[in-house]
Amino acid sequence: MPTEVESICCNEWNIAMPKLQDDDDIDSIPSYTCLTEDPEFSPLLSRSVLHVVFSLPRINWRRRPKPEGPNGTLSIEQCRLVAYRVVLEWMLKGEHLGRRKRKVLPSCVVKAVRDKYPSPSGRYVGFTEAENAFAML
């Protein structure tokens, strides 16, 4: 990742640690060492999940964006942005973020999302503050 703040491993991120531990036994060793290896992770990135989350009225997008992809689907950029949010919500287990309370995702998660939904130009924005992120929708 281009900046130091974006170059964090999920194993170093205190928010990710509960996902890397068994829900029943906080002291147990998980069968995987990275969030992206969790069996629950991959389904979160499916286009159908992203489209549903994108369409939910409770999601506090600043404006109600429309899908910008072909035939009313999400564009690649929209898929990436929604995927970052879906994964973060999954990791936080109900903790709410908002203005001035944002988190940088671990680099392994960002890489997985970018691999699934690559930018045609190969250029990415990286972590941005809320106002800038909402403007991208």
pLDDT tens-digit readout, 82-111: 998 899 888 887 676 666 666 778 888 999
Is position 3 within any domain? no
Query: 7 pLDDT band (50/70/90 cuts)?
Result: low
Is position 59 within any domain? yes
Q: Which residue has the tokens 């890489």?
A: 111
Domain of 68 in residue numbering reads as 10-136
Is position 1 within any domain? no
Asked if residues 105 and 80 have their Cβ atoms less than 8 Å apart, the reply is: no
Q: With 80 as the cut, is the pLDDT of residue 6 above it?
A: no
Complete DSSP assignment for 118-130: --TTS----S--H
Count of domains for the chain: 1
pLDDT digit string, tens, across residues 39-81: 899 999 999 999 998 888 766 566 667 888 888 889 999 999 8
Is position 115 within any domain? yes
Is position 56 within any domain? yes
Coil, helix or strand for 34? coil
Is position 93 within any domain? yes
